[in-house]
């Protein structure tokens, strides 16, 4: 089921109110453009936002991507200004974009990455699923397979792009690429591990875990 549009607020650990916008399914390039505009104009006097959405099937190439060819397929390939290399987005994947004024929380990009990873690790561990991070490849892994990917951009002290978590998506398109630039990297999804929570519960728990770290 597609992510349902919804808006609400959550408080960070530091007491700041954050607007959460569940946007449903949104085109990647238009979403990226909207995030760029937000980051360029966002000030410390305005509330931060977190966008939660799904993208239609698309490969995105980050600023470090050196992979110029893909196996033949009918999925669009687009350039992204996030860090990292190539990944895949599609229905059944939860995408979370934190649009934050980082000085508000006294953190930098490394801490933001660690907080995003920890939010996923805590989410999975509370349901009895062991997860871990890797120093050589940002993201979250279960049984050596990647279940969540990260890619960020900072502009004028504001973050955009963020985290993708594989819930119940078709994993076949990952076989056309070296996910995140790593040849032979295995990819998994929550539905392969007896995940007990529905989509909305997963989103809400992930958000609470993340904002509790800010």
Q: What is the pLDDT of residue 185?
A: 85
pLDDT over 60 (residue 51): yes
* Nearest alpha carbon to residue 120 among 166, 159, 83: 166
Tokens of 7: 């808006």
Under 8 Å between Cβ of 143 and 188: yes
Q: What is the pLDDT of residue 157?
A: 96
Q: pLDDT band at residue 192, thresholds of 50, 70 and 90?
A: very high
State the pairing for strand pair 6-11/17-25: antiparallel
180 is catalytic: yes
Report pLDDT digits (tens) over 140-161.
Answer: 999 999 999 999 999 999 999 9
What percent of the chain is modeled with pLDDT above 90? 84
Report pLDDT digits (tens) over 60-106.
Answer: 998 887 665 566 688 999 999 998 888 999 999 999 999 999 999 99
Q: Which of 23, 180, 207, 213 is catalytic?
A: 180
Least trusted range by pLDDT, from 88-92, 111-115, 178-182 = 178-182
pLDDT over 90 (residue 132): yes
Average model confidence (pLDDT) across the chain: 94
Radius of gyration (C-alpha) of the chain in whole angstroms: 16
Mean pLDDT, rounded, for 5-30: 97
Assign domain 6-211 to its CATH architecture: 2-Layer Sandwich (3.30)
* Nearest alpha carbon to residue 207 among 30, 31, 19, 15: 19
Domain range list for the chain: 6-211
Asked whether the whole model's pTM tops 0.85, one would answer yes
pLDDT over 60 (residue 139): yes
Which residues are 145's β-sheet partners?
142
Q: What is the pLDDT of residue 6?
A: 95
What percent of the chain is modeled with pLDDT above 70? 95
């Amino acid at each position: 089921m597609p992510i349902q549009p919804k808006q609400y607020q959550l408080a960070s650990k530091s007491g700041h109110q954050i607007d959460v916008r569940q946007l449903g399914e949104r085109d990647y390039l238009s979403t990226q453009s909207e995030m760029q505009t937000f980051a360029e104009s966002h000030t410390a006097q305005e509330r931060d936002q977190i966008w939660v959405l799904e993208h239609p099937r698309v490969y995105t190439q980050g600023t470090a991507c050196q992979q110029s060819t893909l196996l033949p397929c009918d999925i669009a390939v687009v350039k992204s200004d996030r860090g990292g290399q190539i990944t895949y987005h599609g229905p059944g994947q939860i995408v979370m974009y934190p649009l934050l004024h980082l000085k508000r929380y006294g953190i930098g990009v490394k801490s933001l990455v660690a907080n995003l990873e920890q939010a996923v690790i805590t989410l999975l561990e509370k349901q009895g699923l062991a997860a871990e991070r890797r120093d050589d490849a940002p993201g979250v892994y279960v049984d050596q397979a990647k279940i969540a990917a990260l890619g960020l951009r900072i502009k004028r002290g504001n973050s955009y792009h963020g985290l993708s978590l594989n819930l119940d998506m078709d994993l076949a398109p990952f076989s056309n690429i070296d996910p995140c630039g790593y040849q032979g990297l295995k990819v998994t999804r929550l539905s392969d591990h007896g995940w007990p929570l529905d989509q909305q519960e997963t989103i809400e728990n992930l958000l609470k875990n993340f904002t509790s770290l800010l």
